[in-house]
Chain A
Amino acid sequence: MTTIAKPIARPHGEEHEDPRQYLMHDPLPRGQMNAMVMESMHETSPIFWLITAVLAATVVFSLGYEWYILIMQGQGMAGVTRPDYWGVFLVNTVFWIGISHAGTFISAILRVLKVESRRPFTRAAELMTTFGLVQAGLSIFMHLGRVWLVYWMFPIPNQRTIWPDFHSPLMWDLMAITTYLLCSTMYLFLPLIPDLAMARDRTEGGWLKQFYKILALGFRGTEGEWKNLTTAMNIFAFAIIPVMFSVHTIVSWDFAMATRPGWNSTVFGPYFVIGALHSGMAAVAIVLFLLRSTMKHYKYFIRPEHFNTIGMLMLLVSMAWAYFYFNDYLVPWYGGDVWDKLFQEYAEKGPKAYLWYTMLTCNIAVPWLILWNRKWRETPWLLAIAGILINVGMYLERYIIIPVGVTINRMPFTWRQYEPRIEVPMTVGTFAFFLLLYMLASRLIPLIPVWEVQEGQEAHLIRKIGKAEISTLSDME
């Protein structure tokens, strides 16, 4: 018998990849990168301002006028009534806090782990955190009703000499969200300082020059300034991660601390955190697609490799979400508590069952079918569609937990269908406000951290080993 030797391996496309297709191996002079980023900020088309005007009008109507109506006429304008006192405003709060999580996750965790592909899109993600938290804050104020009494939650005695009760999960929420908003805003600002200094140097006169000059704080880039800045950034990168986890865990405790069917779950903390990352990651994909498609020169900075990174994270988080959801589903299903069973049956077979099936399709089937393939992950529009569908799924998940969850309680005579009313235009208002803030920010601050990109490019080299050109990284930090 003769033995025919088989080839060890067939040449594979990936083995012949040119490292120069990656941003870190395709450097441009710093001055040119600066010019590209500044040009992308200052060159706007009439369509941009038309969209901005439409968004601004939507915000004035939906958040201004409708909120005025809500305040003047009371919460009766909303669909909330017994037993559904927690409606879409709280769905929006949880949803926007979830969106805000990806910014910190991507920026802080990838910075701590020194994942190099993070460099061009950390700021775009960090901005989502700040602007997402603004919407979360507004949404919870809408839910408060008498929003002018919000200071009753401050740690001061009010006119009735009552102090806030820090034993309540709602006060934990206030502390956690406030901490997260303040810290993530500071974390956004720190790496922005050198880029603001760059914008200051490249802007001639006018109010913009003053704007950059004030915000750049007099930064020059001396050794001491860099040392202080990088030390502070390192502290933030490590410290903000547990704060990020604590925020959504505490949000979950708003529900889990109640002995209500569907809520009273010990797995709610990590389940909410993963859910937040699921929607946040998907939102980053959408934002990156929009930036790459609409901003001049961004195709140089945001490349298929970055969509691949985000896509892999989305797939991983989707699997983790499925795991936690199954945990949260199985235990009450097996346990046999009548109220838990009723809640699950209502979600699966009740009048809102279509929400439950859509949620599972969008959160599990869509990412698993699309994101396993690298070529598809590297296709920006496809990743953006997956991102939109995942966010639809995650919004529905919060809807099922909150208004559908409060419907099924231990007093069946109170059960009713919750239908949002004034909540709908106000929800549209929060989305419009988020987009408006983002669009305005894209004209004012450099969304690409140019100094971080250059720092990465300085550290990367292509080395020839045998027949192949291999990417190597020097530890210069």
Chain B
Amino acid sequence: MSEAITLLAMFEDIEPASEGVEKLQQLGLNDDDMNVISGIPVKHTILGRPAAITYVSRIGMFGAILGMFLGIFFIYGIPYFYPLLVGGQAIFPIPQGIIITFEMTMLGLMGFSFLGMFIDSGFPSYTPKEYTPEISDGKVALLFSCPVSEQEKFIDALKNAGAVTVAPAEARHL
């Protein structure tokens, strides 16, 4: 692509925004070169976009396995290193093992899912970004890059689709 410019198109609603996405696709813009920013989650099929890839569940599963092994260590490893006989109970009991292993597995699953959300989204991030507060007030934004030489064509297409404004995106501190 020759010299590129990033534009931010603002829409009043989801419907015209999905029209805008379609226009950009018709003009040959790659899906990777655009992003929809909204105040509520909008299903990718509504926007006509490919599904966003997330690694949160995989990171969560990794955490669950890690937590499970930690739980197994607590219930079986600790008595191995320091055997403590209590009330005639087995040193390596299965019922208690289920309880501790369950709790640690769930803690691992949820803790790592939480971390995964941070990692996958790049949070926390306080650098300037292309954004406008109108988005959290209900507007839908379409952020995309296109060649400078063709920007008028893209702007016209989006305005025809119902964009309220299309302007160069300005990175600002949130």
Residues of A within 8 A of B170 (CB): none
Q: Which of the 9-residue segments B35-43, B145-153, B160-168 touches chain A?
A: B35-43
**Residue B1 at the chain A interface, CB threshold 8 Å:** no
**Are A239 and B121 closer than 8 Å at their CB atoms?**
no
Residues of A within 8 A of B57 (CB): 231, 235
- A151 shortest CB reach to chain B, Å: 15
B131 at interface by CB-CB < 8 Å: yes
CB distance from B40 to the nearest CB of A (A): 4
What residues of chain B lie closer than 8 Å to A242, measured between beta carbons? 102, 106
* Given A223-B35, A228-B56, A235 contacting B40 (CB threshold 8 A): no
The contact of A165 among B41, B51, B86, by CB within 8 Å, is B86
List residues of chain A with CB within 8 A of the CB of B47: 223
User: Bound complex: CA of A225 vs CA of B52, how far in Å?
Assistant: 9
Question: Number of A residues contacting the other chain (C-beta, 8 Å)?
Answer: 65
Residues of chain B from 96 to 154 with CB closer than 8 A to chain A in the complex: 96, 99-100, 102-104, 106-107, 109-111, 113-114, 116-118, 120-127, 129, 131, 133, 135-138, 143
Please give the distance in Å from B106's CB to the nearest CB on chain A: 5
Interface window among A172-180, A310-318, A335-343: A172-180
Determine whether A194 belongs to the interface, using a CB cutoff of 8 Å to chain B: yes
Residues of A within 8 A of B117 (CB): 190, 228-229, 231-232
A-B contact count (CB 8 A): 198
C-beta contact mask, B74-98 vs A, less than 8 Å → 1, else 0? Answer: 1100110110101001000100100
Minimum CB distance partner of A201 in chain B:
B133
How many whole Å from B3's CB to the nearest CB in chain A? 24
Chain A 438-477 interface residues, beta-carbon cutoff 8 Å to B: 451, 454-455, 458, 476-477
If the complex has contacts A179-B106, A231-B54, A243-B103, are A218 and B39 also in contact, measured as CB distance less than 8 A?
no
Which of A220, A240, A250 has most B Cβ within 10 Å? A220
Taking A202-B133, A218-B123, A221-B37 as contacts, is the C-beta distance between A166 and B106 under 8 angstroms? no
Q: Report the count of interface residues on B (CB-CB < 8 A).
A: 64
> Is residue A20 within 8 Å, beta carbon to beta carbon, of the partner chain?
no
Asked if B49 is at the interface (CB within 8 A of a chain A CB), the reply is yes
Given contacts A175-B100, A223-B49, A455-B40, contact A217 B123 (CB under 8 A): yes
Is the Cβ of B114 less than 8 Å from the Cβ of A186? yes
B116 A458 Cβ-Cβ under 8 A: no
CB distance from A314 to the nearest CB of B (A): 28
Q: Across the two chains, which residue of chain B brings its CB closest to A199?
A: B136
- Interface residue B16 (Cβ < 8 Å from any Cβ of A): no
Contact A229 B41, beta carbon cutoff 8 Å: yes
Q: Are A236 and B110 in contact (CB under 8 A)?
A: yes
Asked whether, in the complex, the Cβ of B39 is within 8 Å of the Cβ of A454, the reply is: yes
Q: Which of B78, B110, B111, B123 has the most CB of A within 10 A?
A: B110
CB contacts (< 8 Å) of A243 on chain B: these are 103, 106, 110
Report the bound CA distance from A102 to B75 in whole Å. 30
Judging by beta carbons under 8 Å apart, are A226 and B78 in contact? no
| Stretch of A29-37, A65-73, A83-91, A414-422 lying at the B interface | A29-37
A101 at the interface (CB under 8 A from B): no
A74 contacts chain B at the CB level, 8 A cutoff: no
User: Which residues in A have some Cβ–Cβ distance to B below 8 Å?
Assistant: 29-31, 34, 155, 157, 161-168, 171-172, 175-176, 178-179, 182-183, 186-187, 189-190, 194, 197-198, 200-202, 213-214, 216-232, 235-236, 239-240, 242-243, 246, 250, 451, 454-455, 458, 476-477
